[in-house]
Amino acid sequence: MNNAIDLSNRNVLVTGGGKGIGAGICRSMAQCGANVLVNHPDDPGQADALVASLRKEYGVSAFSFQADIADPAGVGAMFEYMDRTVGAIDILVNNAGTESVDHAVELDLAEWDRVFNINLRGSFICAQHAARRMIGKKKGVIINISSIHDRVARKGLIHYCCSKAGLNMMTKCLALELGEYNIRVLAVAPGAIETDMNRQEINDFGREKFNHWIPLGKVGQVEEVAWACAFLASDKASYMTGTEIYIDGAYKESTVPYDSRTKK
């Protein structure tokens, strides 16, 4: 266990936790001693393999549960399952999300609704269930995984960008309402993060382009997001709530593709 961040005996639910950033968050939480429920929408094999790894490597209690977070009945069943297995929730990480690329004037409203239902509505449903349980304990942490595109517009992603902007405001509103119960609510906004799923896409598009655009000169790694979440979930961040942490190498600040200091 990593002694710098202690989450011993805390019970964590990570939505969309079976792969990518979600899986990294599950691993960092377990490494700090937390018990983990891995939510996944449609890939039990990958989620179950992660659960087995968490149990074996870190000796924590870990389970998986298949649920569409946009479905209130499914979310309710998931939290009831967590109560019976992992235990009463201490930390919720709203990581599940989706996107698609569509020109704004051609975007079908059904696709707008699909993206909002997962990215925003689903996160709110999960936050409600978690908060109702945390209020009785007078303690808890909710972390919403947003994106730099809650502030930075991007062509073809109007539905995604708007849903993430809403998630950021949801974070602030929940922090105001839940603070009196000692429940902290935060948002983590990754930039360009390399995962097993997008590695080839990054390479095809041109890794050197990202390295040039990002002031730190490199694409981020899953672990850099995951360990920030573990810190925010811990008592070491006990006075942090209602704020958003950007993990992007200052990518969102780099909007001008030239350097006026360059000598000719």
% pLDDT > 90, the chain? 85
- What is the CB-side half-sphere exposure of residue 81 using CA atoms within 13 A? 17
Token readout for 246 is 């950007």
Q: Check residue 68 and give its pLDDT.
A: 97
Beta-sheet strands, E only, within 104-150:
140-145
How far separated are the first and last CA of the chain, in Å rounded?
A: 53
Q: What is the mean pLDDT of the chain?
A: 94
- Total count of domains within the chain: 1
Token readout for 253 is 């600040």
Domain CATH for 179: 3.40.50.720
pLDDT digits (tens, 9 = 90+) for 139-176: 999 999 999 999 999 999 999 999 999 999 999 999 99
Q: Check residue 1 and give its pLDDT.
A: 47
Token readout for 194 is 């390399």
224: left (phi over 0), alpha (psi -120 to 50) or beta: alpha
Closest residue by Cα to residue 51 from 88, 77, 13: 13
The residue to which tokens 């925003």 are assigned: 120
pLDDT digits (tens, 9 = 90+) for 222-253: 999 999 999 999 999 999 999 999 999 999 99
Token readout for 111 is 């696709």
Residue 186 lies in a domain: yes
Residue 107 lies in a domain: yes
Residue 51 lies in a domain: yes
Residue 217 lies in a domain: no
> What whole-number distance in Å separates Cα of residue 246 and Cα of residue 187?
9
pTM value is: 0.94
168: left (phi over 0), alpha (psi -120 to 50) or beta: alpha
Which range marks the domain in which residue 93 is found?
11-195+222-251
> What whole-number distance in Å separates Cα of residue 59 and Cα of residue 36?
11
Positions marked catalytic: 160
Closest residue by Cα to residue 216 from 199, 193, 200, 232: 193
Q: Check residue 71 and give its pLDDT.
A: 97
> What whole-number distance in Å separates Cα of residue 171 and Cα of residue 144?
7
Residue 205 lies in a domain: no
Residue 52 lies in a domain: yes
Residue 207 lies in a domain: no
Q: Check residue 257 and give its pLDDT.
A: 58
Report the Cα 136 to chain-centroid distance in Å.
Answer: 25
pLDDT digits (tens, 9 = 90+) for 94-121: 999 999 999 999 999 999 999 999 999 9
Of the listed ranges 38-47, 177-186, 239-248, the least confidently predicted one is 38-47
Residue 241 lies in a domain: yes
The residue to which tokens 């993206």 are assigned: 115
> What whole-number distance in Å separates Cα of residue 9 and Cα of residue 89?
11
146: left (phi over 0), alpha (psi -120 to 50) or beta: beta
Would you say residue 10 has pLDDT above 70? Answer: yes
